[in-house]
Amino acid sequence: MKLYTSQRAPNPRRVRWVLAEKGVTDVEIVEIDIMAGEHRAPAYRDKVGVPHVPALELDDGTCVTESIAICRYLEALYPEPNLFGHDAREQAVVEMWTRRCEFYLANPMMLTVRHSHPALAALEATQTTQIADYNKVTAERFMRMLDRHLAGRDFIVLDRFTMADIVACVGLDFARLIKYRPPEELANLARWYEACRARPAAQAGA
């Protein structure tokens, strides 16, 4: 298999983190320079189908895009350590929190960065400060809820590290490009965040 990725983008990092957590080393990593527009090149689009990273090319030539879909596929191939839940109940609550972390934290943080970092203006039709500001407020509203939820908890869901933790942590890490830090009063969030960033796989996935 081949993983088309970019060190500059947050969504591919989710996949690299999952690979690192599972100790998978037999996937070929192909770097795509999104700042140079390689993801829009005809050869890449014809292969993958969309101008996006990440993309996982299977041995039969099938290409899977969307980071969560790729991670689910990897979970099926390499089930341990489990990141998506063992049974129906666990899978449901991990899915619920993964979606919450993506929709209300990771995606708003990505838009905040993309619409405020000068170097990323090339990725937007129009870089808009109002979009950055609105999404920052949206993300911080969820951070406050997550801080309350993390009281007495080591992880976002279940009693172990899951995909929800990866999605949330990568979203916050991406915002470091604009020197963003979550509000200082969110002590539970800060404790959880530093614990995630201290995991060996977090560095391998960066």
With 0.85 as the threshold, say if the pTM is over it.
Answer: yes
CA 41 to chain centre: 24
The pLDDT of residue 190 is 98
Per-domain boundaries in the chain: 2-77, 88-199
Residue closest to 15 by CA, chosen among 163, 171, 160, 181: 163
Write out pLDDT tens, residues 59-112: 999 999 999 999 999 999 999 999 999 999 999 999 999 999 999 999 999 999
Judge whether residue 35 has pLDDT over 90.
Answer: no
Q: Any alpha helices (H) in the chain, and if so which ranges?
A: 10-22, 42-48, 67-77, 88-101, 107-114, 129-149, 163-174, 187-197, 200-204
CATH architecture of 88-199: Up-down Bundle (1.20)
pLDDT at 193 over 80: yes
Q: State the pLDDT confidence band at 177, using cuts at 50, 70 and 90.
A: confident
Average pLDDT on 138-157 reads 98
Residue 171 · residue 101 · CB < 8 Å? yes
List the CATH code of the domain at 2-77.
3.40.30.10
Residue listed under structure tokens 């290409």: 63
The span from the CA of 137 to the CA of 139, in Å, is 5
Of the chain, the percentage scoring pLDDT greater than 70 comes to: 94
Distance (Å) of CA 156 to CA 68, 92, 99, 123, 204: 17, 14, 12, 31, 21
Query: What count of other Cβ atoms lies within 10 Å of the Cβ of residue 193?
Result: 21
Q: pLDDT class for 205, splitting at 50, 70, 90?
A: low
Q: What is the mean pLDDT of residues 18-38?
A: 94
**pLDDT value for 122:** 64
Cβ within 8 Å of residue 24, ≥6 positions away: 74, 78
The pLDDT-based confidence of 203 (bands split at 50, 70, 90) is confident
